[in-house]
Amino acid sequence: MAEQQQGQQQSDQAWGTRRRRAGIAAFLAGLVVTLGFFAFFPGLPHVIDWGAVLVSLAVGGLARWVCQSWMTKAAKKPDRV
């Protein structure tokens, strides 16, 4: 019984670590893509100002939230066989 609980805790901890790493990767991807957009998109001044940094942080946060909520929803959904 104790071994089964310990195995479940390790599984939950591994899932939490995977979810956290995916959230960090999504945040960094959103941040970099948005900064790249502001830096290289034709027609925009090629200057990274505080507004671009704040928008990039917001997009990164949104990407992290979407990724983590998607992973949580996928984990709660029963497997269809």
Q: Is the confidence at residue 1, as pLDDT, over 80?
A: no
> What is the Cβ-side half-sphere exposure of residue 31, based on CA atoms within 13 angstroms?
12
Mean pLDDT calculated for residue range 61-74: 93
Measured between alpha carbons, how far is 14 from 31 in angstroms, rounded to an integer?
26
By the 8 A CB rule, do 59 and 30 touch? Answer: yes
| Domain spans in the chain, listed from the N-terminal domain onward | 17-73
The DSSP symbol for 7 reads H
Amino acid letter, 63: A
pLDDT (0 to 100) of residue 25: 96
By the 8 A CB rule, do 68 and 19 touch? Answer: yes
Residue-wise pLDDT for 11-26, tens only, equals 788 888 999 999 999 9
pLDDT (0 to 100) of residue 79: 66
Residue-wise pLDDT for 26-66, tens only, equals 999 999 999 998 888 877 777 778 888 999 999 999 999 99
